[in-house]
Chains A and B, each alone.
Chain A
Amino acid sequence: MLGLNKKDTSLLIVVALLTLFAPFILNPFPEGSAMAQFNAGYPDLMQRFVIFGIFAIGFNILFGLTGYLSFGHAAFLGVGSYSAVWMFKLLSYNVIPAIALSVVVAGLFSLLIGFVSLRRSGIYFSILTLAFAQMSFALAYSVLSNPKFNLTNGETGLQVYADDPQILQGANSPDLPHLFGLPMRATYTMDVGAWSFDFNAGYYLCAVIMMVVFYLAIRIFRSPFGMMLRAVKSNQQRMNYTGLNSKPYTLAAFVISGMYAGLAGGLMAAMDPLAGAERMQWTASGEVVLMTILGGTGTLIGPVLGAGFIKYFENIFSKINDNVLHSWFAFLPDGMEDAVVFLIHPFIGKGWHLTLGILFMLVVIYLPGGLVEGGQRLLKRLKRKKTDADDAPSGKTEPAE
């Protein structure tokens, strides 16, 4: 189907079903129950899942296929956000031109940075991209924000003001990002018994876009172009002696992944019309590296899993505070309860990065292939158990005879 083989088609269908039914899947616990804090089915978080999924899918096209580790991809995300907000300011709150411009501008910007950075490979390439991203951050944070020429609005962040031109903004169209009149914040809440499910317009826009770009990523992975990118990672010397110029291949991969990042940035602004410089900081670039590695570098579904994993645990762990812990461990004797809470305290709330660090270490050491490898191992083990179970009955009957 759609020019994909059977395995890829079923992967695409699974991803499509998961994203479409995410409001149900992510809200398994009834409202008001003790477990409700583990629910993730609210619009803001679901939007972040798919937006960072898009970011990581794109990053994986560069890092997973060519092996070039960029530490500056947040710059493209930020550029995408700024472009989108500028479209809101100048044209209208319709998200389509905003998203389109963010992709185009991020593509051009990544062409420039990629052209320079790709003159080096390995660690030097990583450092160059990091330097460029930090320069972009500095530009956005201060240099391009002065009374004469205010492109980024510095610390405050770029946002839409009442006196902005918005030349195409109709009299009746909503005063917040919308898709031809459908506001991105529009949410339909469905109550089923004790459960409550949110269906958010913004989430579904992001989800549909993610499915399209995920499909494109599969096509790239399976194309001759994708094979050449893997050849870059495997052996550049052989590639060059086989009549192939590896430079345009890596540059093309860099620009494609930059455009994915720009798309993610544009969608972020479309969900919340604000663009700040902190989106370009190196920690944001590092996060997408973590997502990709945690999920499974070079696999199709890995980056999406990694993005979801990190964003979910970021949300859950940072929500848990000492009061919650005390309620969990109330069954322990007083002194023990305090001791346990004291021990766990550094890993929750603002300290959740500590937890992420430990999880990341465990994955890198024990599952170098990321969550995808973990899943594959689990499947293998289940299959083995199943065949064992099939063999077992005959084994048992024999001695009885």
Chain B
Amino acid sequence: MAILRVKDVSKRFGGLKALTDVNLNVEENSVHAIIGPNGAGKSTLLNCLVGKLMPDTGSVLFNNNSVLGLEPFQINQMGISRVFQTPEIFGELTVMENMLIPIFAMRDGAFRMHAYETIANEREVVEQAEAMLEEMNMADKREMNAASLSRGDKRRLEIGMCLSQNPRLLLLDEPTAGMARADTNNTIDLLKQIKDERDITIAIIEHDMHVVFSLAERITVLAQGTPLVEDTPENIRGNPKVREAYLGETAA
């Protein structure tokens, strides 16, 4: 069953057609990669899924509910978590606080005036956050300011924050962009581990073919705002159309 259905989505910016009739189904508990050359419309598509942009036409259904016209926080509350290209974390807060916030958001919803309680007394939330930090191997960094973490650790933290909400769908926007090889491999291992251990659907936008082919079960190739082909990694590798549009020498 498809957990995310994108149907005939089009988006124009003035005279520029960013997306034209995009149709895409992401199957539940799969890892689906969306690739394409620069300017293919990958980021525009992602922004249409999370409420940042409103498509001109078409529909986006998550779990058979439309997400169009909803605010990002409402879409998150439906079970979609997003990891950004540059890690978006609460830099001035400690690692522990970064982990507490999404768990509070899950428990209490989009707003709650819990101004008189003390965080330390919220045992359950604190325990969940500690467990998640443990799982991310970051327990020793819990009192550090998140801004002072290394790039790879920031990414780990951001992924951990998203996972702590037990999302149905995890959206990753070029999660290894600008990373050193070692950090990239760590991130790949982390995502593989997440995929194996959890009931979660992962949709990933990526430039790095190494990452895509190590993780993806299905790949959609976008070119000039429209899906060129959707297939398994093996078939994508051999597809001449894809080579021509995108992979070029990198696949050789």
**Contacts from A to B (Cβ < 8 Å):** 3, 5, 219-220, 222-228, 230-231, 233-235, 237-245, 248-249, 252, 256
Contact = CB atoms under 8 A, between A and B. Distances in A.
A233 to B, nearest CB: 7
Contact of B105 (A225, A230, A233, A244): A244
B73 A245 contact: yes
26 contacts: A219-B115, A220-B115, A220-B116, A223-B116, A224-B100, A224-B119, A225-B113, A230-B93, A234-B93, A235-B89, A238-B88, A239-B101, A240-B71, A240-B72, A240-B76, A241-B88, A242-B81, A242-B161, A242-B165, A243-B102, A243-B105, A244-B101, A244-B105, A244-B110, A244-B111, A245-B110
Contacts of B88: 235, 237-238, 241
Interface string B98-109: 001110111011
Interface string B143-161: 0000000000000000001
B90 interface: yes
Contacts of B120: 5
A228 B104 contact: yes
Given A237-B88, A243-B106, A222 B76 contact: no
A223 B165 contact: no
Could you tell me the dominant secondary structure of chain A's interface residues? helix
A249 B118 contact: no
A226 B71 CA distance: 23
A5 B120 CA distance: 10
Contacts of A240: 71-73, 76
B146 to A, nearest CB: 9
B110 A224 contact: no
A230 B89 CA distance: 12
A228 B73 contact: no
B97 interface: yes
A237 B73 CA distance: 10
A226 B81 CA distance: 23
A231 B90 contact: yes
B111 A241 contact: no
A233 B117 CA distance: 21
Given A224-B104, A240-B71, 13 more contacts: A222-B119, A223-B117, A227-B93, A227-B97, A231-B93, A235-B90, A237-B84, A242-B81, A242-B161, A243-B76, A244-B101, A244-B105, A245-B110
Interface in B27-67: 50
Given A231-B93, A241-B88, A224 B76 contact: no
Contacts of B84: 237, 241
Interface residues of B, number: 39
- With a 10 A CB-CB cut-off, give which of B89, B110, B112 has the most chain A CB atoms: B110
A245 B165 contact: no
Contacts of B81: 241-242
B122 interface: yes
A220 B116 CA distance: 6
Interface in B195-215: none
A234 B111 contact: no
B91 interface: yes
Contact of A226 (B92, B115, B165): B115
Given A227-B101, A228-B104, A231-B101, A245 B89 contact: no
Contacts, number: 105
Nearest to A253: B115
A239 B115 CA distance: 18
B77 interface: yes
Contact of B117 (A5, A224, A230, A231): A224
B92 A233 contact: yes
B122 A224 contact: yes
Contacts of B114: 223-225
Nearest to A4: B118
B184 to A, nearest CB: 22
B118 A234 contact: no
B72 A222 contact: no
B118 A222 contact: yes
B82 interface: yes
A249 B113 CA distance: 8
A242 B105 contact: yes
Contacts of B118: 3, 219, 222-223
Contacts of A249: 111
A225 B112 CA distance: 7
Contacts of A225: 112-115
Contacts of A219: 115-116, 118
A225 B111 CA distance: 9
**Which 10 pairs between the two chains have the least Cβ-Cβ distance?**
A243-B76, A225-B115, A245-B110, A234-B90, A243-B105, A238-B88, A248-B111, A240-B72, A234-B92, A243-B77
Nearest to A220: B115
Contacts of A5: 120
A227 B98 CA distance: 10
Contacts of A234: 90-93
B16 to A, nearest CB: 24
A319 to B, nearest CB: 41
A248 B115 CA distance: 13
A231 B161 CA distance: 14
A240 B70 CA distance: 12
Contact of B111 (A223, A227, A245): A245
Interface string B111-145: 11111111111100000000000000000000000
Contact of A241 (B76, B97, B104, B115): B76
Nearest to B97: A227
Contacts of A241: 50, 72-73, 76, 81-82, 84, 88
Nearest to B87: A238
